[in-house]
């Protein structure tokens, strides 16, 4: 089984690639420097990274919006659209969740006023999320409160068409989205790739993605 893995910087792609390998999936690296279509791949993983260009959702940049990577935005948006069109299993992480929402016509909150709980410095620092019963994510992770790690100052604003919220933080920030009509289309705001040896629910997310590829 082979899944495309998008990224900008090779070093930052390594934890995602390792998590996929541990789940039995061969990562196929895709970057703006080495783009490729999804032909011949069994799934797609959109990794974390810099802020998305606010022009994509019709807004001017907030003063805190930085490191916009329009080349990567365009590449990944096209791949996400292709994955949705062909019902290719899709797992989107952090920036990936935000771009999935934007591709579906949603918006982003460009800066969270209270980012302390959403910008942890290492994998041991976590915050709580509530997984919504009846969602695909709940079937994978369970409906109990879960502890996750995240590093973001932006978040989902208006939810994109066809997406439903599947987890939230105590402060109301959207922590996961999914498309219930697709074979596997899950996006999470946290970084499960960093905690596959610590959190069983994070490991289960990659295992469920791998199962969908078969």
* Residue of 2, 62, 71 lying closest to 32 (CA atoms): 71
Clarify whether 193 is annotated catalytic. Answer: yes
From the DSSP assignment, how many helices (H) and strands (E) are in the chain? 5, 11
Count Cβ atoms within 10 A of the Cβ of residue 85 and give its class: 0-12 exposed, 13-18 middle, 19 or more buried.
exposed
Within 87-135, residue ranges assigned H as helices are 95-103
Clarify whether 94 is annotated catalytic. Answer: yes
The Cα 77–Cα 96 span in angstroms is 10
Query: Catalytic pick from 76, 94, 118, 194?
Result: 94
Query: Catalytic pick from 118, 127, 152, 191?
Result: 191
Does residue 127 sit in helix, strand or coil? strand
Query: Catalytic pick from 76, 175, 193, 194?
Result: 193
Catalytic residue IDs: 94, 191, 193
């Amino acid at each position: 089984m082979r899944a495309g893995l998008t990224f900008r910087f090779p070093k930052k792609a390594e934890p995602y690639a390792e998590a996929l390998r541990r789940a039995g999936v061969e990562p196929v690296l895709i970057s703006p420097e080495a783009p490729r279509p999804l032909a011949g791949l069994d799934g797609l993983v959109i990794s974390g990274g810099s802020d998305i260009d606010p022009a994509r959702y019709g807004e001017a940049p907030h003063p805190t919006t930085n490191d916009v990577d329009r080349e990567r935005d365009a590449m990944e948006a096209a791949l996400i659209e292709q994955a949705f069109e062909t019902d290719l299993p899709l797992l989107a992480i952090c920036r990936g969740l935000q771009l999935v929402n934007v591709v579906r016509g949603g918006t982003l909150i460009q800066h969270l006023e209270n980012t302390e709980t959403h910008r942890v410095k290492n994998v041991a620092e976590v915050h709580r999320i509530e997984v919504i019963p009846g969602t695909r994510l709940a079937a994978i992770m369970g409906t109990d409160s879960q502890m996750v790690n995240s590093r973001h100052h932006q978040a989902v604003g208006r939810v994109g068409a066809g997406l439903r919220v599947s987890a939230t933080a105590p402060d109301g920030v959207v922590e996961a989205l999914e498309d219930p009509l697709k074979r596997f289309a899950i996006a999470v705001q946290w970084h499960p790739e960093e905690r596959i040896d610590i959190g069983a629910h994070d490991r289960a997310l990659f295992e469920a993605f791998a199962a969908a590829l078969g």
